[in-house]
Amino acid sequence: MLQAWSHHLGGHQCTKEVESRVRLTPPARFGGRRTHAPQRCDGAYPTRTRRDAAAGIDGMTAETYEVNLEANLANLHERLRNGQYHAPPVKRVYIAKEDGSQRPIGIPVFEDKIVQRAVTMILGAIYEQDFKDCSYGFRPKRSPHQALDALRKQCMEGRIGWIVDADVSAFFDSLDRGLLREIIEQRINDGGIIRLIGKWLNAGVLEGEQLSYPEKGTPQGGVATPLTQ
């Protein structure tokens, strides 16, 4: 695991430092001292981690975690620093879709959400420099409404009369993990981050009392899911 940030992981100053390096050398793979692997999670909590989200398999809520917040974060920091952090299985729940079917969601434990947020803050600082201006999904200061406004403008200016709505069937369930890792490693050369992503992909899924370890795909619902997928 690479060096920790001396103050707040993902803090504004550190994030801006990574962004600046990416702008100067866009094709580079970032690792070592340039990304600062997520050993401290102070900056990912509490303002950047949702406190009202559903609890994972351990039932831990933000309110309970905050009872011993400093000790819990210190313990988490130590496990990350020593490479002893283990990602628990996600809890499987289902939400209804518009077509009447159900979408499977994987809910991580609260502490895992903190670590995922820390990693997402680092990756976001890098990938934000790569995204095209026409990309709106899960990006800071962008929303679906802005995407619709941009699409409407293009249709009006280009006199477009047809719009094709397409979706990849069961994308998250069939995602090739090896390919995902190859794509991430094109930009990220940080073993600590790569190992954490691998732990999340292989953490397992607990549905009721049945624990399974799918060999492909990735659960929807994690903090890091939108950016890594």
pTM, to two decimals? 0.79
Which residues, 6 or more positions from 102, have their beta carbon under 8 angstroms from its beta carbon?
Answer: 94, 95, 96
Residue 31 has pLDDT above 70, yes or no: no
State mean pLDDT over 199-223.
90
Pairwise pLDDT comparison (135 vs 16), residue with the higher score: 135
Question: What is the DSSP code string of the chain?
Answer: --PPPSS-TT-HHHHHHHHHHHHHSTTPPB-GGGT--S---GGGSSTTS-SSSPP-TT---HHHHGGGHHHHHHHHHHHHHTT---PPPEEEEEEE-TTS-EEEEEE--HHHHHHHHHHHHHHHHHHTTTS-TT--TT-TT--HHHHHHHHHHHHHHHT---------TTHHHH--HHHHHHHHHTTB--HHHHHHHHHHHTS-EEETTEEE--SS---TT-TTHHHH-
Least confident of 40-44, 87-91, 139-143: 40-44
Least confident of 31-35, 181-185, 191-195: 31-35
Q: Look at residue 1 in the predicted model and tell me its pLDDT.
A: 33
| Average pLDDT in the chain | 81
Share of the chain above pLDDT 90, in %: 39
Q: Look at residue 3 in the predicted model and tell me its pLDDT.
A: 37
State mean pLDDT over 111-117.
91
pLDDT one-digit tens code per residue, 5-25: 323 344 555 556 666 665 655
Residue 132 has pLDDT above 80, yes or no: yes
Least confident of 5-9, 37-41, 68-72: 5-9
From residue 167, alpha-carbon distances to 100, 145, 222, 223 in Å are 16, 19, 21, 22
State mean pLDDT over 50-73.
90
State mean pLDDT over 25-32.
62
